[in-house]
Structure 1
Amino acid sequence: MTLDRAVLAFAGMMVLLSAALVYFVSPWFLLFTAFVGLNMLQSAFTGFCPAAMFFKAAGCRTGEAFR
């Protein structure tokens, strides 16, 4: 799996997890959803993504977006 796909899969999992937490636990978990969305937005403009650094250290090969 490339770094790009790993980051996108992780972000998607976090959004789905937060949606489930909102439904089953508390509407306050919408803050988690907002955090994930803001992190995705800032990484699109700056290229800095903490998840990408983690997956790169874990051995994912570099894709096109995060070089």
Structure 2
Amino acid sequence: MTANNALLAFAGTMVLISVLLTWTVSVHWMWLTVFVGANLLQSAFTGFCPAAMVFRKIGLKTPCEAVATKT
């Protein structure tokens, strides 16, 4: 799994969890969904994503690094 795939899986999981918590616990959990969406939007324009930095630090590779190590 690459860092990009892990990032997409993490963001999707956080959105689903926040929707579940909004439905079962409190409407205020919707702010987590807003935060995840805003972070994804800003990272698309700036390239800065704290979660991606964490995934790279724990050893996940970017797609280019993953292809380079296969050969």
TM over 0.5: yes
Q: Percent identity?
A: 56
TM-score using structure 1 length: 0.92
Question: Which structure has the bigger radius of gyration?
Answer: 2
Residue 49 of structure 1 aligns with which residue? 49
Return the offset for 1:63. 1.9
- Higher relative helix content: 2
- Figure out how many residues of one structure are paired with residues of the other and give that number: 64
Provide the residue aligned with 1:36 in structure 2. 36
Match of residue 69 from structure 2: none
Q: Give structure 1 regions of 4+ aligned residues with deviation exceeding 6 angstroms.
A: none
Task: State the Cα RMSD in Å.
Answer: 0.8
Tell me, which stretches of 5 or more residues in structure 1 are unaligned?
none
1:6 aligns with 2:6: yes
Per the alignment, residue 22 of structure 1 pairs with: 22
Any stretches of 5+ residues in structure 2 without a counterpart? 65-71
Q: What letter matches 1:62 in structure 2?
A: T
